[in-house]
Chain A
Amino acid sequence: MKTFPGKALSWRVEDGAIELTLDYPPCNEIGLAMLAELEQFVSALSSLRTEAHALIISSARSEGFCAGGDLRELFRLSQQVTGAKRLSGLRDFIERIHAVMNALDEAPFTTIAAVNGLTFGGGFELALTCDLIIADKMARFCFPELRLGLIPGFGGIPRLKRDLGNGVVRDLVLTGRSINAAKAQTAGIVSQVTAEGDALRVARQTAAQLKKFDRNTALAAKRFIKPIPYDELRREIEIFCELFMRPAVEKGLRKFVESKDALPYLP
């Protein structure tokens, strides 16, 4: 499928690059709707391979790239069941997310996240599946999960560890603080910082440059440079599910859901 106009995202092939655009209010939260369409996208990857040499993931939302998991939906669904059913429902969701993230990570071409604004939690994890992150200077990155009694659950820690020194990983995960694009570039997360509102244009220019190279060589380089940390990703699922079942998480999620603020877990 060359184009796809979905409810949470859309994609099209433009100048040999697939442009996957997230557009789901308020800020592209990853819940069942976004997950279902991401699954549709990754199942189309093998056919898109013949038409494209690069993938750009960006957001149509001015608020940001993606605010992470849909915590309100997660809380609502988890309240409908208890005990073992709650755990199996959560595990099913997390397994599906991991399958999507792994498919994006190993996409058979170079992938670019063009990020703006809020790039938090699951949104940060989505960006980390990409080979390059090009960030608007107003982008902000954060793993706030510890504030809810959780760890990042969509593959964030293993992918961050793959890219960065452990000290930076500890700083981001254990303090839960947010950092701007310039800091993220200094840390080695972001490859280019652009003017405000210019990340997608720069990503398109970068994709045009990638077209000049032999695709098989680029793919061999990517697979050599960026192995997928499967063992750690499996371990992350186990820890996340174990933590999720504690009462402290339910309390944290309830506080989040009952607040009217956009980011109630932040200071």
Chain B
Amino acid sequence: MRSICGNIVDMSSLQSTTDEVLRLAAEHFKVPREQLTPDDDFFKKLGINSLQALDLLTRIEHHFHIELPDYELQGVSDFRTLAERIQLRL
């Protein structure tokens, strides 16, 4: 267990969410999955801008059946933190 923004999060489900995010990003932006790690800056590693990041956000919302307001992602640029924000909405 780990505390994220004051919420207790199960580490194994966070790991699985992180894996899913990495898989989605690799698939959509056509990057080999093995080249992505949780601590990567997704803007730099995927070579994307904010428009493409919004596209990723929409895919994440569909995939996890969640609503994730973009202001909750302010300052988020690595996959691990992105997965943590998703986990809080699951």
Partners in one complex: yes
> Could you list which residues of chain A lie within 8 angstroms of chain B, going by C-beta atoms?
27, 63, 117-118, 137-138, 140, 142, 175-180, 182-183, 261-264, 266-267
CB-CB under 8 A from A137, the residues of chain B are 62
**Size bin of chain B's contact surface:** 10 to 19
Contact of B74 among A179, A262, A267 (CB under 8 A): A267
Nearest opposing residue in chain B for A183, CB measure: B67
Nearest CB of A to B40, in Å? 18
Nearest CB of A to B25, in Å? 15
Nearest CB of B to A175, in Å? 7
> Could you list which residues of chain B lie within 8 angstroms of chain A, going by C-beta atoms?
49-52, 54-55, 57-59, 61-62, 67, 69-71, 73-76
CB-CB under 8 A from A177, the residues of chain B are 69-71
Nearest CB of A to B52, in Å? 8
Contact of A63 among B51, B71, B74 (CB under 8 A): B51
Contacts A118-B51, A263-B49, A263-B51; A140 near B58 (Cβ below 8 A): yes
B54 near A264 (CB under 8 angstroms)?
no
Of all A-B residue pairs in the complex, the 6 with the closest CB atoms, nearest first, are A262-B51, A267-B74, A263-B50, A177-B69, A262-B49, A180-B58
CB-CB under 8 A from A262, the residues of chain B are 49-52
Complex A-B: 30 CB contacts under 8 Å:
A27-B51, A63-B51, A117-B55, A118-B54, A137-B62, A175-B71, A177-B69, A177-B71, A178-B54, A178-B57, A179-B67, A180-B61, A180-B62, A180-B67, A182-B61, A182-B62, A183-B67, A262-B50, A262-B51, A262-B52, A263-B49, A263-B54, A266-B54, A266-B70, A267-B50, A267-B70, A267-B71, A267-B73, A267-B74, A267-B75
